Each structure stands twice: as C-alpha cells, then as structure tokens.
Amino acid sequence: MKCPFVSSVSTGLFKRSNITLASALNHCPFIRQQRSLTITPENNILTKSKTAVSDERNCPYIHGQTVERPRSSELLARARSRSPALELANIWNTGPVTNIETADVPKSDVLQDIYQETPGSIRKNPVPGKIPEVWAESMHIQLQKKKDEGTYRNLMTVNKSTQRAPLLEKIDSKVVYPLVRESYCSNDYLSMSSHPTVIKAAVHAAEKHGTGAGGTRNISGTSELTVALEREISSWHQAEDALIFNGCYPANDATLSTLLGRRFPGAQCFSDSGNHASMIQEEQADPSNRLFTFRHDSPEHLEELLREEYLKDPYLPRIVAFESVHSMGGNIQRISELADVAHQYGALTFCDEVHAVGLYGHTGAGIAEVERVRKKIDIISGTLGKGVGGFGGYIAGPSLLVDQVRQHAPGFIFTTAMPPTVLASNIASIRILKGPEGRQLRDQHWEAVNALRDELDDFGIEYKKPARASHITAVELNSTWLADQVMDELDRRGFYVQAIKSPTVPLGEEMLRLTVSPRHLRNPQSIPRFASELFNTINAYQTVAN
C-alpha cells in the first residue's frame, strides 16, 4: 500500500532540490496529526501536550497495515461523541514547509519537463494597467459587492492524477509540497479522462496530426477525426446530424441565438426557470419580450404560457428549452411531458442532456434513451467534458436544423476548430461508453452514489431528495458564510468540495454539490470517512453560527 503523502510528491521535485525523504517525513499530515491535544480544564482552551511526539511507527503505510471498514453506526457514534469546539481545532496541520514564495517552482512533472526543455523566464514587471476612471470606479464597486456578499470567487489550483483519482494535488504557492486532497465535486463522473485507451488515442493523434487544428472549420480545421466524431455523436443519439463546438456553453448559445435571431423574427423561447446560464443569456439579452419562463419542471405552467401566446398568433416559431438532469437540484425532469406540451402547440423541443450523457441509458446516450422518448426531442445538446471525460460540446438533431446552425451561427463559424488530440480522445471515450465496459462503469457509478447517500442518511446529513433523483447529491447549507466555512474546513481535513454560491444558485440557496465516481470504491473507507468528516464539520460550524 503506497503512502498517499510521499507518492503525491513528484519525483522531479526531489531530483531538482535539496529536499530529502527524511525531511519530507517531518511534514507528513499523518505523522503531524499524531501530536496529542489536551484541553486545559480552567479555560477549556485546546493546547498541545508537552509529551506529544510524532511517531512514524504508528503510520499504517510504513507497516502496510489496513484497517477494516467501520460500520456507519460506529462512525456515527464516534462522530457524535466529539465536541464541536474540539473538531474545529483538531485539524490536519499541513501548513507551509518554508516561508519562501514557491509560485515559480512547478509541482507538476509535466510542467517541470516543459520548463527544462524550453529554458526561459516569466516576466515579473508587467506594464501597469491604466483603466479610465469611469470604468475603474464601477469595477471596484461591483467586485467589492461580491466580496461583501461572500460570492467572490477564488479559484483553487489542482493537479489531477490519472493513476490516483479521486485523489488530486492542491497547489499552494506558499507550500513546497502538493497537498493531497480527495475530490467529491468532479464532473468527470466516470473518470473517463484517465482511461488508458482514451489517453492512448490522444497521444497517438498528437504524434500523427499535431496538437492544433490549424484553422476554423471552414478553413482547414475540419479533419477526418472531426467528421468521425460528429458521426459518432449523431449515431449515439439516433439523430440525422450533429455539430461539435468548443464547449456546451457555446453550443447552446450558438444554437439558440441562431433560432431566435433576426432570421426568425418574432420567434419565442419558453425556458425552464432552472435552466443553465447558457440557455438563458441569449434570450435575456434580446430587447424584445420574447422570453417566457415557466416554473421548473412544470408542464402545467408551460402549457398555460404556450396556450396564451398561441391564441395571440399560432404561426410564430417557438422553442421550448429544458434540461434532462438539473445540474444543481439533482432531479430528472419530466422531459416526455414537456415535449408533449411543446409539440401540441407546434414548438420545437431543445433538451440539454449535459449531465446525463455517458451516465444514463443502455449506451449512455442520456435520459431520452432511458425513457425511450428520443423521437420527442428535436434538438439534443450535450457535453464531452463530463461523463465523456473530454472537452467540447455538441448538438444533435434533424439535418436541416443542424445545417442552419452550421451556416449561420457566429459561435461556430468564427472560432478555431477542435484539436486532433481532443477529437481522438472523445471518439475513443464515446465508443467505450456505448459498449459493455460503459455499462459496467455506469453500474459502479451508481454503486458509489448509493454508498454516499447511505452514509449521509446514517449520519443524518440532509440533502435534496427529489422524487426523480439523479446522481447529483446536493447538501443545502443556505448561507454563503456556512458554505465557505464548511468547504475550507473540509479542505484542511483533506477533502476537496466546492461550495456552490451565487450566481450559480440564488443567494440563500448555497449548497455543497457532491459527486462520486467508480474510483471512490477503490478504498472502502473513503466514502464513510468523508461522510464522518462532513458531519463533524457541518455540526461544528452550525453550532458556531447559532
């Protein structure tokens, strides 16, 4: 059994520095955690014991020990016996190894090799930016508002590992060593980005065709791999045609802006209130009142709105847009009923299957495949960056409609095409997901999802339980402060969970959006340990808040 701390440190870091394994051991989180903690009776203050020692003889990785998975009931009893105050203080001390700035010291082996092969330096004297006061004042106000609301985003730097998922490395410029974290928020649901066949396809494509497309789709950017990927997608969704984009946001935006643009005057869009930003930004930007929002997953409200507008003018082009799996709420929407209502009033149906492709259906084609309603969905949009584990987005549908987008959407026409490496890996991943291995991965994924929910139930951790639940587990905290505190504390305890805040969700509906993969089943202690720490953390900070 490998030590998760030592094995996380890149070999290049040891080679290029005077750091020894013996000195690195002094900073092992497990060894550091062995220091005893005592509470002074007089003032209930947490202090270190004078007799505290760091004894590597207790490390289970040195002696190859394994620990039998504790039962959930045992974990619950153990967790509830702890004082919230003690839990807040008893955290892993993985602080800075040095007081020097290490931002210029790469932790990634890939980056180290690049820097070694391409000598050079990064300029540290940028040209001072001069922004006109009318712009600068407004920007300062807007950014300060986000900080005051607690919605200002600080992006965490992490390095994924193909061999050790769901573990990843958190990169801190003040810490010499990468900090190992176990991820519970990745959208690489099936870990397809780490599949050997997928990686091999990307490497082979780079060696044969290079790393870039070299142009737009119209100017030397459409390769045999491009055509093959679009054919693979259209076959997957039983559609006449498909079109790929450099992301699902541009796919949705380009398609809806084309169908609701000047070439279709008066066209109306009926959008689910829970839709992703990519499905509502274009409509909201239109000065005319052509966007109608119906209550989330409500065919009844949709019919009210459609009937009212249809009676005014039955000949206007209309489109109804909705998701199959809601990205934040975690519910599977009633796409069949929504489609029936749309078609009753002559509207097109646009279904975003972003969080479903790869994960649902016999071939992984999504909810439309599961519910056998593919014929009811006129346009399917999907991503290649979640269940497929790659990069990009697409639409699939009737050839006439797809060609309309191909010929008129600026978001498709005026951008560089997808590179060969990405095309090849996407093709390989989809073909795996269509077959027996894909079905096995989907079964394992649900095993991990159910294991997580069983643990949350045992600890009494509340999460959304929609009638038609998807794989997404949303733990509602309803406070930006609480969401941030829980996220930061879990980070100190060795877990990476991203707090979901405004504008992704409305203020007051903050949550932890938990996801797991088949890789979480590798260690039977992983999910129970996470649930235990989550319970302790939420309990502690809710106590502080109250």
Q: Which two tokens stand for residue 266?
A: 């008066």
Catalytic position from the list 170, 386, 434, 501: 386
Between CA 378 and CA 343 the distance in angstroms is: 10
* CB burial of residue 20 (10 Å; 0-12, 13-18, 19+): exposed
Between CA 8 and CA 5 the distance in angstroms is: 5
Between CA 311 and CA 345 the distance in angstroms is: 10
Spell out the alpha helix ranges (H) of 327-461.
335-344, 367-370, 399-408, 410-413, 420-434, 436-459
Please say whether the dihedral angle defined by the alpha carbons of residues 358, 359, 362 and 365, taken in this order, is positive or negative.
negative
Residue 276 near residue 352 (C-beta atoms within 8 A): yes
* DSSP sequence for 137-169: HHHHHHHHHHHHHT----PPPEEE-TTTTTEEE
Helix (H) or strand (E) holding 475: strand 473-476
Our answer to whether residue 386 is catalytic in this structure is yes
**Angle at which helices 248-259 and 399-408 cross, to 10°:** 100
User: Would you call 406 helix, strand, or coil by DSSP?
Assistant: helix
Name the nearest CA neighbour of 453 among 515, 363, 405, 524: 515
Q: Which residues are catalytic?
A: 386
